[in-house]
Amino acid sequence: MDKFTKNLTITLISGANGGLGLATATRLSKEHGHHVIVGSRNADAGDKVAEALQAEGYEASSVQLDLNSDTSILAAAKSIQEKFGRLDVLINNAGILIDSIPEQTTRGLFTKTFDTNVIGTACLTEAMLPLLRKSTLPRIVFVSSRMGSLKVSTDDSTPFYNADYKAYDASKAAVNMLAINYNRILSDVGGRVNTACPGLVATNLSPFVKKYGSEPYLGAQRVVELATVDKNGPTATFSDRNEEIPW
């Protein structure tokens, strides 16, 4: 780690080669001067994003990161340790929504969804804990969804009330619980751990969101805000860019 890098905020974003993750990486590097580490399952795709940011004069690098592979996660942690010696911000962005795919078993649907959205996210966070603890202000942002709110999901006036996304919804409720637990785990070092709902964002998550969602740049707003809080900023919260969301 050189002297210049020592003064930067080092931020890892999972699933950062496209969509919301890419928008988040772009905003953090360009608007807040973070050194963003582009986590991407496809190494070449991640390299291209990092190189594009570097070409514009911003701080970025990339790391191959597959949430379904412990080998990949541990290699990413080792790479960050060797290059930077710490991690200041972890943004758990990567996730899937596959409920609408036809001809899949219930077990298969839930297993695939939880493997990525919950288990993979937990494994990544756990692997990065030692690096986060080396930061003077460790921050974690879990990208969740209003659809994971138990209270909101009981309101039959919500737009998604009748949508059958039970595996995705359940996984995001579990992600919210991960955030609460990691807030507890990092409380001894003043960590700030929050959950952000980006809203309906036009990404490749599903055909519906790609057609009707807002621009990823706008969706990244709350994620970026929570990734840049100071030591007095919020922690153990669930919110979108407009308001707090009940758990």
Q: What are the pLDDT digits (tens) for 70-91?
A: 999 999 999 999 999 999 999 9
Q: Buried (b) or exposed (e) across 109-125, using 16+ Cβ within 10 A?
A: bbebbbbbbbbbbbbbb
What's the average model confidence in pLDDT over 189-218?
77
For the whole model, what pTM was predicted?
0.94
pLDDT for residue 202 is more than 80: no
Does the structure show a pLDDT above 80 at 212? no
**Gap between the Cα atoms of 186 and 177, Å rounded:** 14
For residue 203, is pLDDT > 70? no
Q: Which residue has the tokens 């209003």?
A: 146
Rounded to the nearest 10 degrees, what angle do helices 43-55 and 19-32 cross at? 30
Residue 198 has pLDDT above 90, yes or no: yes
Asked whether the beta carbons of 176 and 148 are under 8 A apart, the reply is: yes
Distance CA 198, CA 143 (A): 7
DSSP state of 201: B
Residue 94: partners with Cβ closer than 8 Å, 6 or more residues away: 14, 15, 21, 39, 41, 65, 67, 116, 120, 121
pLDDT category of residue 49 using cuts at 50, 70 and 90? very high
Read off the pLDDT of each residue in 130-143 and give the average, rounded to a whole number: 98
- Report d(CA 87, CA 79) in Å as an integer: 11
Q: Mind telling me the catalytic residues?
A: 168, 172
Residues 180 and 177: their CA atoms lie apart, in Å, by 5
* pLDDT at 1 (0 to 100): 56
- 128, 95 in Cβ contact below 8 A? no
- pLDDT at position 76: 98
| CATH number listed for the domain at residues 3-239 | 3.40.50.720
Planar angle of CA 117, 215, 90, nearest 5 degrees: 40
In the chain, % of residues over pLDDT 90: 87
Domain definitions of the chain by residue range? 3-239
In whole angstroms, what is the distance from residue 79 CA to residue 85 CA?
Answer: 9
Torsion over CA: 232, 191, 93, 116 (sign)? negative
